[in-house]
Structure 1
Amino acid sequence: MARLPRLYVPGVPNHVIVRGNNRQAIFGSEGDRIFFHRCLAERAPVHGVSIHAYVMMTNHVHLLATGSGSMSISRLMQSIGRRYVGYYNHQHDRTGTLWEGRHKSIPVETDRHLVDCQRYIELNPVRAGIVKHPADYPWSSHRHFAFDKPDTLVTPHELIVTLGYKGERTLAYRSLFEEDLDAETLQKIRSSVQKGWALGSDAFCKQLESLGGRRAQPRRRGPKPVQPALDLDDPNGV
């Protein structure tokens, strides 16, 4: 089955994932992560992208980002890819590709799923068993929101800003991480990313389809036809 083209609509947040080829590491040192962070922080404004949340794992990166144009995020990822791969290959005396094909990206409905998606991203190191709490992992946006640590890469989404004034906001934000996402929400986010569908309501998906020119959710299947019960005494039965 051919991959769906990525669906970018200006002003709509996207959950973006880029992985190492064959799940290989894309960061070999602290310096690699610092350089990748710097690349994103420098190039995101150039391409009209606001990065609301992120996590840099060993072999992949998650971003929650909004582009001002339909090509903003794609151009940012292409720019970062070229610059970082050149740096990484030089630093680690290697050649060839680093990424597992093209990056994945899905639109996220703000009111329903943005906070869940941000929690999903920052809880990644916890689910991976690397740390017990997202605040213990230095390579994500969590400390910026939960403890007001400056981060030049992060532009908070307006929905997060509405959690309250600075002191209130950090306390409210920390409370969001007292437990992991429920299994249904985790599965919904993972399935959407894997299949390339938008993360949102029917109304949100229909709006995206009218603006983006492709389906944003799978077609609904009708009920399966009722099969007659097998006659176990029928010699032609199974």
Structure 2
Amino acid sequence: MARLPRLYLPGCSQHIIQRGNNREPCFFNEADYKAYLSFLKDAAEKYRVAVHAFVLMTNHVHLLVTPSDEHGVSRMMQAQGRKYVQYFNYTYARTGTLWEGRYKSTLVDAENYLLTVYRYIELNPVRAGMVVHASEYPWSSYQGNALGKSIQLLTPHELYIQLGKADEERQSAYRALFRGRMPERDLTAIREATNKAWVLGSDRFRAQIEAKTGRRSAPLGRGGDRKSAVFRENQNQ
């Protein structure tokens, strides 16, 4: 089956997954993580892409970003990817590809899913059993979004800013979002939308995206809205 073209809309947030080839490690030590973040920061600034959340796992990366134009995300990923592969191959005396084909992405309905995707990304190390709490993992945006650590790469989304009138109030409200486990329906919705290049959002949001892009935003005959009876039934199977 042919791959669906990626969707890009200026001002619309995207969840991105970039995996290592054959699920092999992309990071071996602290210097590698720092190099990736540095290249990403440079590329994000150059192509005017706001990075709201990230996590660097051993063999893959998650990002939540908002581009200023329709080409920003693809150019950012191409630029930082090229630089990091050059760095990685030189450092470890290797050749060839590092990433597993093209990165995967989905448009995110900010009103219904944005903060859920923040949480999904920063809880990856917890779900993987690497740490007990997101605060213990050093290579994610949780350190900045929840604890106030200065991370120059990060640009807070408007909905994050609305969590409070001051930094401490926003960080406290953000930490509260991490109490308890994420509902399985949210995990499934995010994974399916991102891996299959569908749109993550309500029926209304998906209809708006289809009207703007002329491309289907969800598989035929199946709903993705968390409020859809069909969607809830599918989650229980």
Q: TM-score, normalised by structure 2?
A: 0.91
Partner of 2:228: none
Measured after TM superposition, the shift of residue 16 of structure 1 is 0.4
Identity percentage of aligned residues: 50
Provide the C-alpha distance between the structure 2 equivalents of 1:118 and 1:13, rounded to a whole number of angstroms. 11
Tell me which stretches of 4 or more aligned residues in structure 1 moved more than 4 Å.
none
Quote how far apart the aligned CAs of 1:212 are: 2.1
Say whether 1:79 aligns with 2:87: no
Aligned positions of 1:34-53 closer than 5 A: 34-53=34-53
Is the 8 Å Cα contact of residues 123 and 180 (structure 1) preserved in structure 2? no
Match of 2:112 in 1: 112
Other structure's SS at 1:55 match = strand
CA–CA separation in structure 2 for the residues paired with 1:18 and 1:193:
11
* 1:157 aligned partner, one-letter code: H
Deviations 1:145-187 (A, max 9, x none): 1111000110010100000021111111111111121111111
Give the aligned residue type for 2:130.
I
Hey, what's the Cα distance between the residues in 2 that align with 1:46 and 1:211? 26
* 1:204 aligned residue: 205
Bigger CA radius of gyration: 1
Superposed CA offset, 1:85-126 (max 9, x none):
001000001000000000001000001000101100000000
Separation (CA, whole Å) in 2 of partners of 1:174 and 1:31: 28
Rounded to whole Å, the distance in 2 between the matches of 1:59 and 1:84 is 14
Distance 2:130 2:193 in 1: 25
1:109-188 matches, cutoff 5 A: 109-164=109-164, 165-188=166-189
Aligned to 1:234: none
The code of the aligned residue for 1:173 comes to Y
- 1:213 Cα offset (Å): 2.9
Three-state SS of the structure 1 residue aligned to 2:52 is strand
List runs of 5+ in structure 2 lacking aligned partners: 223-237
**SS of the counterpart of 1:147?**
coil
- What is the rounded CA distance, in whole Å, between the counterparts of 1:132 and 1:171 in structure 2? 19
1:95 corresponds to 2:95: yes
SS in 2 for 1:118: helix
Q: 1:35-56: CA deviations, max 9, x gaps?
A: 1000111110110100000000
- Give the partner amino acid of 2:184: A
CA distance in 1 between partners of 2:24 and 2:213 (Å): 33
> In the aligned structure 1, how far is the partner of 2:54 from the partner of 2:26?
15
Counterpart residue number, 1:54: 54
Secondary structure at the residue paired with 1:96? coil
Deviations 1:8-61 (A, max 9, x none): 111000000100000000111110100100011111011010000000000000
SS in 2 for 1:53: strand
Alpha-carbon separation, structure 1, partners of 2:113 and 2:217: 15
| Structure 1 residues not aligned, in runs of 5+ | 222-238
Report the 3-state secondary structure (helix = DSSP H, G, I; strand = E; otherwise coil) of the residue aligned with 2:78: helix
What letter corresponds to residue 11 of structure 1 in structure 2? G
1:167-223 alpha-carbon deviations (Å, 9 max, x no partner): 1111111111111211111111111112111000111111111222311111226xx
Root-mean-square deviation (CA, aligned residues, Å) is 0.9
- Alpha-carbon distance between aligned partners in 1 of 2:162 and 2:210, rounded to the nearest angstrom: 29
How far apart are the structure 2 equivalents of 1:56 and 1:92? 19
CA distance in 1 between partners of 2:17 and 2:191 (Å): 11
Decide whether the 8 Å contact of 1:7 with 1:107 is kept in 2: yes
1:96 partner amino acid: G
